[in-house]
Amino acid sequence: MESIVATPDDRRARRNVVILVAAQAVVGAQLPVMFIIGGLAGTMLAPNPCWATLPISLIVLGSMLAATPLASFMQAYGRRAGFWVACVAGAVGAAIAAYGLMAGSFAIFLLGSLLSGVYMSANGFYRFAATDTASAEFRPKAISYVMAGGLLSAVFGPQLVSVTSDAMPITFLATYLAVIGLNIAGMVILGFLDIPTPAKPRTDAAPTRSRRELLRTPVIAVAVICGTVSYALMNLVMTSTPLAVVGCGFDTSDAANIVSAHVLAMYAPSFVTGHLIARFGARNIVALGLAILAASGGVALSGVELEQFYIALILLGVGWNFGFIGATSMLTASHDPAERGRVQGMNDMIVFGGVFVASLSSGALLNCSGGTTETGWQLVNISMVPFLVLAGAALIWLSLRPKEA
């Protein structure tokens, strides 16, 4: 039986984890809201139906572009200030998107989506913030608990859409106004964070490593590869799932239920993932996550019955959880405090860059590859193979390196 005595720092870390989980549940609910209604609102406004999902892609693009400057800002001014800036950006982005709906302007709506991506980027830093005041023993659990908060936002977000989508004459206008309120509430919640601003390096301190030097550090490189592959492949398959389910003859309600099961599978394991990492090591949990992602693809390729969609998407969620949280745990243990902003910003820029490419590729593979929906669905899942091989090979290479290296 594991026994970890909480140190004073861990007591503070646990308090910060509670605050971050609350923020994840409340202000983080805007992420599922945006992903649920982004394509639907885009369909209403886009001059060409092929561009309907562009708002979602721009949210991811905004997140990628914001990752490095946001990390540098937090390194200089602290987590709380960085999260406040992101909440302001999320509120302004929602306001611009709301105006785009009222004006019937797709271009203005896209601008609001791009700015909303700044909050999505900050939401990714919650998992890093959870480790800032944690001991080495508590660190993987802190990451896991904060990620578990996504389960609450995954439940709250869709309910908010149901209540607000038709509450005003313009569809979804009330939803975007509600998102402004979520960001304001988030600023209040995050105001209670107790994370000190990193000390500035002493003039006589050794220089920190450049981004190129950091990426040449084996454990950092492998963590970035595995985190990017886990997140990008999850997004690749999830984005095309509703279209594939409906295209194979099932109802829209079936697609919604499958996606809901997938989201639950993404976050529910977080209650135990940190304990598994503490017991078996981050690398082993990442390897397990990659294996489960491969199993998801295998089930999807075996057929297009309803139960196969359910099993494939549940496995996809669990595989993402183990792979992404495990890679995050590897990353947080691989750098000095002075390098925190540079490492984390670089990591999330690469991760969300991969997710952006995946979100654009998903629809193209499913709808524009010729043949039937079933053929497109097979191509989506076959495309996972080379990236899983890359991540698996990187893990094996890291394990075979001498420990002193």
The CATH number for 23's domain is 1.20.1250.20
Q: pTM for this one?
A: 0.77
Burial class (CB in 10 A: 0-12, 13-18, 19+), 14: middle
Residues 104 and 127 in one domain: yes
Residues 161 and 214 in one domain: no
Residues 112 and 194 in one domain: yes
Residues 148 and 60 in one domain: yes
Residues 160 and 245 in one domain: no
Residues 37 and 147 in one domain: yes
Contact 158, 262 (CB under 8 A): no
> What gap in Å lies between CA 111 and CA 61, rounded to an integer?
11
Q: What's the N-to-C CA distance of the chain in angstroms?
A: 32
- Supply the pLDDT for residue 4: 37
Residues 96 and 233 in one domain: no
Sign of the C-alpha dihedral computed for residues 102, 360, 160 and 89 taken in this order = negative
Residues 249 and 186 in one domain: no
Within-domain flag for 204: no
Within-domain flag for 53: yes
> What gap in Å lies between CA 318 and CA 326, rounded to an integer?
12
338-359: b or e for each residue (b if 16 or more CB lie within 10 Å)? bbbbbbbbbbbbbbbbbbbbbb
> What gap in Å lies between CA 278 and CA 2, rounded to an integer?
9
Within-domain flag for 91: yes
- Supply the pLDDT for residue 192: 95
Tokens (6 digits) for 330: 């590897």
> What gap in Å lies between CA 109 and CA 349, rounded to an integer?
23
Within-domain flag for 251: yes
Residues 135 and 271 in one domain: no
Residues 323 and 183 in one domain: no
Per the structure, the count of domains in the chain is 2
- Supply the pLDDT for residue 90: 96
Residues 165 and 220 in one domain: no
Range of the structural domain that residue 234 is part of? 209-400
- Supply the pLDDT for residue 363: 72
The residue out of 198, 232, 254 marking a domain boundary is 198
Within-domain flag for 245: yes
> What gap in Å lies between CA 391 and CA 196, rounded to an integer?
35
Within-domain flag for 405: no
Tokens (6 digits) for 201: 């390096």
Alpha helices in 168-251 (DSSP H): 173-190, 211-215, 218-247
Residues of the chain with pLDDT under 70: 1-9, 49-50, 52, 200-208, 252, 369-370, 403-405
Residues 90 and 237 in one domain: no
- Supply the pLDDT for residue 60: 87
